[in-house]
Amino acid sequence: MISVALWAVAALLLLAPAGIALSVHPRGSTVLYGGCLVVTLTLAVTALINLLDPFHPTWDATLPVGLPWLGAHFRIDALSAFFLVVVNLGGAAASLFALGYGRHEDSQGRVLPFYPAYLAGMNIVVMANDAFSFLVAWEFMSLTSWALVVSHHREAENVRAGYVYLLMASFGTLCLLLAFGVLAGGGNYDFDAMRAAHPSAALASLVLMLVLLGAGSKAGLVPLHAWLPLAHPAAPSHVSALMSGVMTKVAVYGFVRIVFDLLPAPEWWWSMVVLAVGGPTATMGVLYALMQRDIKRVLAYSTIENIGIIFTGLGLALAFKAEGLDWVAALAFTAAMLHVLNHALFKSLLFFGAGAVLHATGERDMEKLGGLIHRMPQTAFAVLIGCVAISALPPFNGFVSEWLTFQAILLSPQLPSWGLKLIIPAVGGLLALAAAFAAACFVKLFGISFLGRARSPCAAEANETDHFSLGAMFLLAFFCLITGILPGFFIDALAPVSKAMVGNVMPHQVGLEWLTIVPIAESRSSYNGLLVFLFVVICGSAAASAIHRLASDRLRRGPAWDCGYPDPNPAIQYSASSFSQPIRRVFGSVIFAAREIGEMPPPSSAAPARLTVEVHDLIWNGLYAPIAKGIGFATERLNVLQFLTIRRYLTLVFVALIVLLLVVAL
């Protein structure tokens, strides 16, 4: 079956050059995205067959490409099968959305050739079974996604976003290259040889740090997140969904593959490093999201939060595995993997919704939207489901994976290390804070964008999006609901992945009464998404029926409370900035260096006051800006070397030779 997967990837690679010719054809985008849809569905089904096979087979293949003495090794096991499902489910949804959205894309000639290549790169990373193939595919994935980020290259912000992304991607690849170099100490870059090797504790710890930097920079861990809020909004919306919902999960795959599979048994303090990064990443990401007005920047920063939740689960799994509590490690690891799937679903859905709004209004600024629930009711309903799911509210899928993560946190007193006993509750507090802020963030996004009255003519004149885009959104909304009300099936499907990575599995869930999930034992905790869903449906229907039957049919009109502003101006509505003001005032001076500038009208004027807010990324200002300034200073000084005379060039070469001879002699 691996041959089917490899042929499917080859089909994607063939579609890439075909995209050049198709970009000038009126229906070229339909042909290309339709082909990508068929291929990604084939890959998803192939991977799902492997994942659900009761014998848990491992499929291997070697192709005579790459290094002559190595070749290219590919493998599909339980871990890669699961991530192939995530990658290609997201790819299929993005391709379906693009069948409609792509017709309106004004840069098809720069998107169509790279889109299938990007999908192929992510699939090859997940199937690679040697360091050379992995790194080549990793760089291929980075370069094709960079080309998609700068597809609208006439906008200066997009060019800057692509530049920052390329720098961070190169840094991450360098770290992974060094990590594989340490793992392949004997010169064998095959993953099977690395599994058989036994590096010292110091070298294994060095690999962990390098992988955390390399994969973390691609995933968006703080403080390596600088590129993510720039690149994701710059790309076309279906590409943004892939970058945020799927590519960040490929980075998670790289971390899991190396740390849980290729490295020997973990040290207990490794988990403290991962937890110390994961918890603050979750909280910082959602706080930054709360401060944004741009819908796509909100979603990009929210991805940082969810990556923090995933890495917190992985850190917990490392802690319990190191201390021999494999049964709890299975719970934490399963929670992390389930959140990988859940985030791919609801974040792709929300980026599709942002794309539909952008196409209908030409705006991403929430301050210029409002009232879209009347103009785009179906999009509003799908986005509402995505907002509820990402806010971790039952009965949708985001609740289940975060609830399982908290169940693992509550078992931390069983760990013997006092360091872990102290840090895990602190990280749990950060996750609880992040969960509350996430709910506030997406109440703001949906309320400001879709409720109230239109704040601009473009919002007042918006029209519903096309049927392909709606189909993709409702498909993902359906998966968000199914994963939330029937989580036991998905937990059991992850059992072979958990068994391979941490050596144990969660108790079998399917077959329990009313499809309840019980992470440890019923005496400790349980959850039934199906009953919660039925309760919500029945109570909602009963309330609607009661209101319809008991409410008076007499029409009564009266003036609404106008807060002292009798002029019915949409400008007096809550804005995105005013909604987040209380939280900004609590955390702003410490985390954002926030500054509020108020402009009060004269007493005789009825015009509303205006508030301008400045929010800064202190990590960028404190870490990356000084580095960029230093590099700029050095390059300006070295620029004189381009304008030397021939005599000075010869002198410079002669001095360099003398220095090299002295170095060799010493």
pLDDT in tens, 332-345: 999 999 999 999 99
Span of 231-245, 296-310, 563-577, 581-595 with lowest mean pLDDT: 563-577
Domain presence at residue 343? yes
Return the closest-CA partner of residue 375 out of 292, 464, 474, 479: 464
Same domain, 508 and 369: yes
Burial group, residue 406, by CB count within 10 angstroms (0-12, 13-18, 19+): middle
DSSP assignment of 209-245 equals HHHHHHHHHHHT-TTS-TTHHHHHHHS-HHHHHHIII
Segments forming the whole domain that contains residue 275: 265-541
pLDDT of residue 553: 65
What's the structural domain count of the chain? Answer: 2
Rounded CA separation 4/242 (Å):
23
* pLDDT over 80 at 503, yes or no: yes
Rounded CA separation 383/387 (Å):
6
Rounded CA separation 452/645 (Å):
69
Share of the chain above pLDDT 90, in %: 51
Burial group, residue 660, by CB count within 10 angstroms (0-12, 13-18, 19+): exposed
Rounded CA separation 51/658 (Å):
61
Identify any residues that bridge with 233 across adjacent strands, giving them in sequence order: none
Q: Best-predicted range by mean pLDDT among 54-63, 64-73, 585-594?
A: 54-63
Average pLDDT value over all residues in the chain: 88
Domain presence at residue 338? yes
Of 541, 576, 598, the residue at which a domain comes to its end is 541
Q: In the structure encoding, which two tokens stand for residue 61, read together?
A: 């293949």
Same domain, 395 and 486: yes
The H or E element spanning position 495 is helix 495-502
Dihedral pair phi/psi, residue 395, rounded to 5° = -100, 25
Q: What's the pLDDT tens digit per position in 170-185?
A: 999 999 999 999 998 7
Contacts of 425 by beta carbon, 8 Å cutoff, 6+ apart: 409, 412
pLDDT of residue 562: 65
Average pLDDT rounded to a whole number, residues 485-495: 93
Return the closest-CA partner of residue 232 out of 154, 295, 305: 295
Domain presence at residue 123? no
Rounded CA separation 176/148 (Å):
23
Return the closest-CA partner of residue 218 out of 167, 179, 268, 262: 167
pLDDT of residue 106: 65
Domain presence at residue 290? yes
Average pLDDT rounded to a whole number, residues 321-348: 94
Q: In the structure encoding, which two tokens stand for residue 362, read together?
A: 């030409």
Domain presence at residue 195? no
251 vs 621 pLDDT, higher one: 251
Span of 131-145, 458-472, 593-607 with lowest mean pLDDT: 593-607
Same domain, 454 and 311: yes
Rounded CA separation 436/573 (Å):
24
Rounded CA separation 7/12 (Å):
9
Dihedral pair phi/psi, residue 598, rounded to 5° = -95, 140
Same domain, 631 and 514: no
Q: What's the pLDDT tens digit per position in 251-279?
A: 999 999 999 999 988 888 999 999 999 99
Confidence of residue 521 (pLDDT cuts 50, 70, 90): confident
Rounded CA separation 143/135 (Å):
12
Largest CA distance in the chain: 101
Q: In the structure encoding, which two tokens stand for residue 18, read together?
A: 């075909």
Same domain, 529 and 623: no
Rounded CA separation 610/601 (Å):
8
40 and 92 Cβ atoms separated by less than 8 Å: yes
Q: What is the tally of helices (H) and strands (E) in the chain?
A: 29, 4
The answer to whether the bond into 395 is cis (omega within 30° of 0) is: yes
Domain presence at residue 253? no
Same domain, 527 and 632: no
pLDDT of residue 636: 83
Same domain, 349 and 450: yes
Same domain, 393 and 513: yes
Same domain, 517 and 641: no
Of 494, 511, 541, the residue at which a domain comes to its end is 541
pLDDT of residue 233: 85
Q: In the structure encoding, which two tokens stand for residue 23, read together?
A: 């970009």
Domain presence at residue 308? yes
434 and 282 Cβ atoms separated by less than 8 Å: yes
533 and 385 Cβ atoms separated by less than 8 Å: no
Q: In 3-state terms, the chain is what percent helix, strand and coil (to 5)?
A: 70, 5, 25
pLDDT of residue 460: 87
What residue type is assigned to position 10 of the chain?
A
Domain presence at residue 89? no
43 and 51 Cβ atoms separated by less than 8 Å: no
Rounded CA separation 276/390 (Å):
23
Span of 148-152, 301-305, 403-407 with lowest mean pLDDT: 148-152
Return the closest-CA partner of residue 381 out of 302, 479, 473: 473
* pLDDT over 80 at 615, yes or no: no
The H or E element spanning position 88 is helix 78-101
Q: What's the pLDDT tens digit per position in 349-386?
A: 999 999 999 989 988 889 888 889 999 999 999 999 99
Return the closest-CA partner of residue 494 out of 80, 82, 57, 87: 82
Average pLDDT rounded to a whole number, residues 300-311: 94
pLDDT of residue 577: 76
Q: What's the pLDDT tens digit per position in 384-415?
A: 999 999 999 989 999 999 999 999 999 988 88
**SS3 of 461, please?**
coil
Same domain, 294 and 398: yes
pLDDT of residue 440: 92
108 vs 630 pLDDT, higher one: 630
pLDDT of residue 524: 79
Confidence of residue 565 (pLDDT cuts 50, 70, 90): low
Same domain, 504 and 647: no
Bridge-based pairing state of the strands 595-599 and 72-76: unpaired
Of 510, 541, 572, the residue at which a domain comes to its end is 541
pLDDT of residue 103: 72
Q: What's the pLDDT tens digit per position in 416-425?
A: 888 888 899 9
Burial group, residue 157, by CB count within 10 angstroms (0-12, 13-18, 19+): exposed
Same domain, 530 and 623: no
